[in-house]
Amino acid sequence: MARIVVDRIRCDGRGLCAELLPERITLDEWGYPLVDATPVDAAVEAYALTAVSQCPRLALALVPDRVDRRPVTTTTIGSRTRG
């Protein structure tokens, strides 16, 4: 399975993704996406891929669920393993 992630630097907050995938993406008060971080199941995957492909800023992505998403801190640098 995969998760939807948003690059908040690229995103311009116009909200197309929330229109295309309202099951997983809502907008905050400024119009920036709030993404449900639970894994995307097969029933939603096609819609998620559409939202990713239609993002005008290339700010959305589907990433494999097994990616290590621990925040990088000075204590975790060097402790990560490849998997």
- List interacting residues with ligand SF4 (CB under 6 A): 6, 11-17, 33, 55-57, 59-60
- Smallest separation, CB 60 to ligand SF4 (Å): 5
Give 3's contacts (C-beta < 8 A, 6+ positions apart). 37, 38, 39, 40, 62, 63, 65
CB of 12 to ligand SF4, least distance (A): 5
Give the nearer residue to ligand SF4 in terms of CB position, either 63 or 80. Answer: 63
Nearest distance in Å: CB 8, ligand SF4: 8
DSSP β-ladder status, 25-27 and 2-6: unpaired
β-partners of residue 27 are: 33
